[in-house]
Structure 1
Amino acid sequence: MHILFLTDNFTPEVNAPASRSFEHCREWVKAGHRVTVITGVPNFPRGQVFPGYRNRLWQTEVIDNIRVVRVWTFICANEGFLCRTLDYFSFMVTALLAAFFVRRIDVVVGTSPQFFTVCAAWLVSVLRRAPFVFELRDLWPQSIRVVGAMQDGVLLKALSRIELFLYHRAALIVAVTHSFKRILTARGVDPGKIAVVTNGVDLQRFQPASKDPLLEAELGLTNRFVAGYIGTHGLAHGLDTVLDAARQLRDLGESDVRILMLGDGAEKADLQRRAKAEDLRNILFVDTVPKDQVSRYWSLLDCSLIHLRRDPLFRSVIPSKLFEAMATGIPVVLGVEGEVADIVRRYEVGVTVPPEDAQALVEAVLALRDDPACRATMAENGAQAARRFSRPALALSMLQAIEGVVQHDCLQQTKTS
Structure 2
Amino acid sequence: MKPGARRSFLKKTLVASGALLAWPWLAHGQGQSGLPAGLLAQQGDIFSFVRQQLLLADGLVYLNTGSLGPSPRWTIDRIIEIMHQLEANPVTENWGPLGRQMELAREKAAGFLGAATDEIVLTRNTTEGLSLVGASLHLQKGDEILTTNHEHPGGLVGLRYLARKAGARLVEIPMPMPALSQEEVLDVIEQHLNKHTKMLMLSHVSTITGMRMPWPAIASLVQGRDILLVADGAQAPGMLAVDVKALGVDVYATSGHKWLLGPKETGVVYFKKAIQDRIKPVFTDSGYATYSASSGTRNVANIIALGATFDWLQKVGMPAIEAHVMQLADYAYQRLAALPGVELLSPAAPELRTALVSIRLTKANNRQVFQALLEQGIVVKVLPKYNALRFSHHLFNTTNDVDILLQALEKLV
- Name the TM-score, length of structure 1 as normaliser: 0.30
